[in-house]
Amino acid sequence: MQKGTALTPAPDNKALIVFDLDGTLLDTHADLVESLNHTIAAIDLAPVSYDDLTSLVGQGARVMIERAGRMRERPVTQEELPALIERFVAHYTANMPGHTQPYPGLVAAMDRLKASGYALAVCTNKMEGLATTLLQKLGLTHYFDAITGGDTFEYRKPDARHLTGTIERAGGVLSRAVMIGDSINDIAVAKNAGVPAIAVPFGFSDVPVASLDPDVIIAHYDELTVELVESLLQGSAARLAV
C-alpha cells in the first residue's frame, strides 16, 4: 500500500471514526519497551521501563529515542540517529506482533460500527509502514479505509492537517468524523481540526485524560456505540451551525 492510500471508499453521509494506534487501538507497550531498549543498548544507555513509556511515546521512533537519551542524561546526536532508528525499526518489525494485542472489546466495537455502515481509519505518529505491518500481522487491516502515519505527510499530530488528510484519504468528510485517542496529541489534533474527541484512559498518556478536556471518555470499547458517535456528531453539527 502506498503512503496514506485509501483502502476502500467511506460510505456517503456515514461517520468516519479515526483511531490513534499505540495506546488506543493496540496495547503495544511491551514491544515498544523491548525494541527501544535493544536500540539504546547500542550506545550503552540503561534500559527504560514501562513506567517511563508515557513520557517517551507519542511522536514516533525518532523522538522516542531522543527522549530516552535525554532521560538518561546522554543526548543522542544527529549523527547517531539514523543508525539507531534503523536498529529500532529492524528489531520492532522482526518481532511483530510480539506481545501486542487489541484492547478488550475493540474488535467487537469495530464489527458493530462496520455493520452499521461506518468507516474506520487510523491516524498515528508511528511510521506508516510499521503501523500497517503491525495491523496486517494482527489481521486487522481490512477494518480500515485508510492508515496514515507520522511520515505519511509533511506534518503529524497535533497538526490538524494530519487528521484532515486522513479523513480525506478515507473518503470521509470533516463534519462526519470523530477522533479517538489516549494522549494529548490525539485530543489536540481533534480540537485543532474541529472534530469531536473521544479519549480512552487505558493508554499511554502521562496525565489523566480528563485533564485534556475531550468530549467523552470511554473506559471500555463496549461503550463505543453507534448512539454515542451519533450524539457527538449531532453536537458537532449544532456547533458548526451557530
Question: 58 falls in which pLDDT band (50, 70, 90)?
Answer: low
Same domain, 136 and 87: no
Q: What is the mean pLDDT of residues 172-201?
A: 97
Instruction: Supply the DSSP symbol for 72.
Output: T
Question: Does the pLDDT value for residue 241 go beyond 80?
Answer: no
Contact in structure between 76 and 65 (CB atoms under 8 Å): yes
Q: Which of 148, 155, 161, 158 has the alpha carbon at shortest distance from 183?
A: 158
pLDDT for 73: 86
Question: Does the pLDDT value for residue 5 go beyond 50?
Answer: no
Same domain, 209 and 115: yes
pLDDT for 236: 66
Question: Does the pLDDT value for residue 9 go beyond 60?
Answer: no
Q: What is the mean pLDDT of residues 2-22?
A: 68
How many domains does the chain fold into? 2
pLDDT for 4: 61
> Where in the sequence is the domain holding 79, given as residue range(s)?
29-94
pLDDT for 11: 46
Same domain, 74 and 109: no
Question: 50 falls in which pLDDT band (50, 70, 90)?
Answer: confident
- Residue 184: give its domain's CATH number: 3.40.50.1000
Question: Does the pLDDT value for residue 237 go beyond 80?
Answer: no
> 70, 94, 118 — which closes off a domain?
94
- Residue 56: give its domain's CATH number: 1.10.150.240
Same domain, 146 and 158: yes
> Can you tell me which residue has the cell 484519504?
169
Same domain, 170 and 184: yes
Phi-psi region of 237 (alpha: psi -120 to 50; beta: other; left: phi over 0): alpha
CB-based contacts of 242, cutoff 8 Å, min separation 6: none
For residue 51, tell me if it sits in a domain.
yes
> 51, 68, 94 — which closes off a domain?
94
Q: What is the mean pLDDT of residues 179-201?
A: 97
Same domain, 110 and 213: yes
CA angle 10-109-198, nearest 5°? 80
Same domain, 137 and 180: yes
Contact in structure between 226 and 118 (CB atoms under 8 Å): yes
pLDDT for 239: 62
pTM value is 0.88
- What are the cell numbers at 73? 542524561
For the chain, the helix, strand and coil percentages under 3-state DSSP, each to the nearest 5: 45, 10, 40
- Annotation marks residue 20 as catalytic: yes
| Percent with pLDDT over 90 in the chain | 79
- What are the cell numbers at 43? 550506545
Structural element, H or E, at residue 87: helix 81-94
Contact in structure between 214 and 232 (CB atoms under 8 Å): no
Q: Which of 75, 74, 126, 76 has the alpha carbon at shortest distance from 100?
A: 126
pLDDT for 227: 95
Contact in structure between 25 and 129 (CB atoms under 8 Å): no
Distance CA(164)–CA(162), nearest Å, equals: 6
- β 16-19/119-123 pair status: parallel
pLDDT for 240: 53
Q: Out of 20, 27, 182, 215, pick the active-site residue.
A: 20
> 42-56: buried (b, 16+ CB within 10 Å) or exposed (e) per residue?
ebebeebeeebbbeb
More confident residue, 225 or 54: 225
Same domain, 111 and 193: yes
Residue type, 192: N
Q: Average model confidence (pLDDT) for the chain?
A: 90
> Can you tell me which residue has the cell 519497551?
33
For residue 9, tell me if it sits in a domain.
no
Q: Sign of the C-alpha dihedral, residues 90, 94, 99, 104?
A: positive
For residue 110, tell me if it sits in a domain.
yes
Q: What is the mean pLDDT of residues 152-170?
A: 97
For 61-120, how does the pLDDT look when each residue is reduced to its tens digit (9 = 90+)? 888 899 898 888 889 999 999 999 999 999 999 999 999 999 999 999 999 999 999 999
